[in-house]
């Protein structure tokens, strides 16, 4: 089965298998997870499972039939991948209206038309409201598979009409195993460093291996997160200063997402979701209650929101540090 090649996420994979075998695939499926965790790959596997031609329902998606091969190569006429730049408010209402109009046209080659909408957290509010109109009463032959990195940035009215699957990053060893299959020219040391900096996130690890800027951002995000863990307020300000003075706003946002991913992983470690392989993180996690870690995530989300609202990055960073200090007291 094709899903066997998707690392970790056994619960999400089993839920998807149940949707397929029970014949109760939801009209709207939302996949939530941090950037690089494999949401788009999983969405394609879900679409393949729905349209798979394998005689055995329990083996869908098979990855071998005509429909599966066309979907995985992005050439199936009834599977539409819609995306925008990975920037806030870059997914506009005009694109949603085009999708809505196309959805009422019958499938070309199968029972369903599937729309994979990437990064719907980047939709404008107007675009999300336009999307809501069709997922409230979708045509019988239409399925929407959407992805986001944070459901808090999706309208509650959309969330209430979607089946939500949360995708987790895999263990660092699983990440290394995957990288060995993809990056055959990289050394074992390089793969291990990328997996560690990415916290097991395969997509981010690939970016780190292929882009020096991504490598520096990942190192800086990890350093900033560790200064929070050790309560070094001045060092945290120094870490952020480089990303508030003359840097692109996107770099500041990416730094914040890197810090957020670090604390999400600590929460998972604390609750036994991820194998406790890294001694340093296991020690650090014991200094925080789950409530404190969740509060830090909220603080990061507020910093991201301020940056998206074009608040001065210096002010956003100062407010971030002040709120962190309050939590750690």
Write out the DSSP string of 272-327: TSS----HHHHHHHTTS-HHHHHHHHHHHHHHHHHHHTT--HHHHHHHHHHHHHHH
Residue 303 scores a pLDDT above 90: yes
Q: Domain extents for the chain?
A: 2-166, 171-210, 213-328
Residue 282's pLDDT is 46
- Residues 34, 39, 41: CA angle, nearest 5 degrees: 145
In what side-by-side order are the strands of the sheet with 79-82? 79-82, 113-117, 142-148, 28-32, 163-166
pLDDT tier, 279 (very low <50, low <70, confident <90, very high otherwise): very low
Please indicate whether residue 220 or residue 85 has the higher confidence score (pLDDT): 220
Would you identify the CATH topology of the domain 213-328? Zinc Finger, Delta Prime; domain 3 (1.20.272)
131: exposed, middle or buried (Cβ count in 10 Å: 0-12, 13-18, 19+): buried
How far lies 147's CA from each of 46, 167, 245, in Å?
12, 10, 32
Residue 280 scores a pLDDT above 60: no
pTM: 0.76
Residue 286 scores a pLDDT above 80: no
Residue 65's pLDDT is 96
One fold for 2-166 and 213-328: no
Residue 248's pLDDT is 81
283: exposed, middle or buried (Cβ count in 10 Å: 0-12, 13-18, 19+): exposed
Helix axes 39-51, 10-21, angle to 10 degrees: 20
CATH 3.30.360.10 fits 2-166, yes or no: no
In tens, the pLDDT along 175-220 reads: 999 999 999 888 988 999 999 888 889 999 999 999 888 889 989 9
In tens, the pLDDT along 106-158 reads: 999 889 999 999 999 999 999 999 999 999 999 999 999 999 988 988 999 99
226 CB-near residues (< 8 Å, 6+ apart): 284
Residue 61's pLDDT is 96
């Amino acid at each position: 089965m094709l899903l066997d090649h998707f690392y970790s996420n056994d619960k999400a994979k089993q839920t998807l298998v149940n949707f397929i075998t029970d014949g109760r695939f939801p009209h709207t499926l939302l996949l939530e997870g941090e950037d690089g965790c494999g949401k788009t790959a999983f969405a394609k596997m879900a679409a393949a499972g729905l349209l798979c031609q394998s005689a055995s329902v329990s083996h869908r998606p098979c990855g071998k039939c005509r429909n599966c091969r066309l979907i995985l190569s992005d050439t199936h006429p009834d599977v539409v991948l819609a995306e925008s730049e990975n920037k806030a408010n870059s997914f506009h209402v005009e694109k949603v209206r085009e999708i809505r109009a196309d959805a009422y046209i019958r499938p070309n080659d199968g029972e369903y038309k599937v729309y994979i909408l990437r990064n719907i957290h980047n939709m404008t509010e107007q675009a999300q409201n336009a999307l809501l109109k069709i997922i409230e009463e979708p045509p019988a032959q239409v399925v929407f598979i959407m992805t986001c990195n944070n459901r808090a940035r999706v309208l509650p009215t959309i969330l209430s009409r979607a089946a939500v699957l949360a995708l987790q990053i895999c263990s660092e060893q699983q990440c290394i195993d995957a990288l060995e299959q993809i990056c055959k020219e990289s050394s074992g040391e390089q793969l291990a460093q990328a997996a560690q900096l990415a916290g097991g996130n395969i997509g981010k690890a690939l970016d780190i291996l292929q882009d020096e800027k991504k490598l520096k951002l990942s190192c800086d995000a990890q350093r900033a997160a560790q200064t929070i863990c050790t309560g070094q307020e001045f060092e945290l300000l120094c870490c952020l200063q480089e990303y508030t003075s003359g840097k692109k706003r996107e770099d500041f946002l990416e730094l914040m997402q890197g810090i957020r991913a670090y604390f999400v992983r600590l929460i998972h470690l604390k609750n036994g979701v991820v194998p406790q392989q890294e001694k340093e993180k296991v020690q650090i996690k014991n200094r925080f209650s789950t409530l404190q870690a969740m509060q830090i995530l909220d603080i990061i989300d507020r910093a991201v929101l301020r940056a998206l609202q074009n608040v001065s990055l210096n002010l956003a960073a100062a407010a971030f540090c002040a709120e962190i200090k309050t939590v750690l007291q």
